[in-house]
A and B are shown apart, each in its own frame.
Chain A
């Protein structure tokens, strides 16, 4: 997993990310101005996370220079490369999600009924977002290096995650029901497995350039 170390060099971008996350949330807070009901709150949170993650993680591949890609190419196997990349992006998205959630909950002064389940939702959703965005941005990078392509390609694929995620967090904020929570967690785990497996299997075909 020395992939992680390689990625760590780009940390200068992280500071910008924090500011980006904070301003997005703050804009929402200023425009809404009162505490929204649980379904709206979770929608706000996850749409914010979605956009910030696409912006942050979607560039993961686009930023790589050709020479550096060649260097990676000689260094690691494609499968371990994509897994490392996804792990790194998961961390990134996880940090973003926690940040956005933290600021939202702080500003709107909401309390969460089932915090542990909420954390589970966050973790699973974040991992799914990360895997999908990373893989899609790999496709977009080989296609044209055009950033809009990342959004066009990844939005519809991210939708199942987003929808389940919003419902799951809403459930955790108010009106918790453990049977439903288990069902949502199950769906998220299955979706995660699916996307990770697809990324693992298909990435070698993108690698050849």
Chain B
């Protein structure tokens, strides 16, 4: 087994054990739910990394035309979308108990929903083309659009408007100043853990696709 798979296992277990047992700051409203940071926020960070890998490979595909890059770009989006949907639903549960509703009209929440919609549209686009090369090229072009939307909605818009999410519009829930060093000790490893887990799934899916390609070639 590869070293990073071992690392993924260790980090995931560490983030569960450390996430529940290590002391966290006592904050109003959040109370014990602050521990969701280790599992909800980290999912988004992992998704961001996956989507970034995707766009890099989309651009590489446009200049190289190599099937390998297309598979990477596509499967990172698939797993990223999976993480995104998980992040959205976990966020809804968290929001119900801290902000008072499953869906508050928040810039970042709305932006996330739109971003996921764009990526779902990407999946629809890929599904509607038969020719693999054309599928890859159109997908790559559209995924660049999708990534721009992602940056716009998750990084730029929340910063210029009010948001309930921390770090946007002067929200006190917990910004970078609230996350103390003991929290960071779990937070960053958890991000890496979730990302590696996602990456593992990506590589598995790509390997399955390669097997499928070989079977088609043989027939």
B124, B125, B137, B148: which contacts A205 (Cβ < 8 A)? B137
Interface-located stretch among B30-38, B73-81, B138-146, B195-203: B138-146
| Number of B residues, CB within 8 Å of A | 22
Would you list which residues of chain A between 162 and 205 have a CB under 8 Å from chain B? 194, 198, 202, 205
Inter-chain contact B142/A139, CB cutoff 8 Å:
yes
Kindly list chain B residues whose C-beta atoms are within 8 Å of the C-beta of A205.
Answer: 62, 137, 140-141
Would you list which residues of chain B between 141 and 188 have a CB under 8 Å from chain A? 141-142, 144-145, 148-149, 152-153, 157
A152, A194, A198, A202: which contacts B121 (Cβ < 8 A)? A152
Q: A144-B129, A159-B114 are in contact. Are A206 and B138 (CB under 8 A)?
A: yes
Q: A198-B145, A202-B141 are in contact. Are A149 and B125 (CB under 8 A)?
A: yes
Kindly list chain A residues whose C-beta atoms are within 8 Å of the C-beta of B85.
Answer: none
Q: Is B22 an interface residue (CB 8 A)?
A: no
Q: Shortest CB–CB separation between residue B41 and chain A, in angstroms? A: 24
Kindly list chain B residues whose C-beta atoms are within 8 Å of the C-beta of A159.
Answer: 114
A153, A194, A209: which contacts B142 (Cβ < 8 A)? A153
Q: Is A160 an interface residue (CB 8 A)?
A: yes
* Among all A-B residue pairs, the 8 with the closest Cβ atoms: A156-B117, A156-B118, A202-B141, A143-B129, A144-B128, A153-B121, A159-B114, A152-B121
Q: Is B207 an interface residue (CB 8 A)?
A: no
Kindly list chain A residues whose C-beta atoms are within 8 Å of the C-beta of B152.
Answer: 160
Inter-chain contact A198/B144, CB cutoff 8 Å:
yes
Kindly list chain B residues whose C-beta atoms are within 8 Å of the C-beta of A157.
Answer: 118, 145, 149
Bound together, the chains give a CA A97 to CA B149 distance in angstroms of: 24
Inter-chain contact B118/A139, CB cutoff 8 Å:
no
Q: Is B68 an interface residue (CB 8 A)?
A: no
Q: Is B209 an interface residue (CB 8 A)?
A: no
Q: Is B134 an interface residue (CB 8 A)?
A: yes
Q: Shortest CB–CB separation between residue A181 and chain B, in angstroms? A: 15
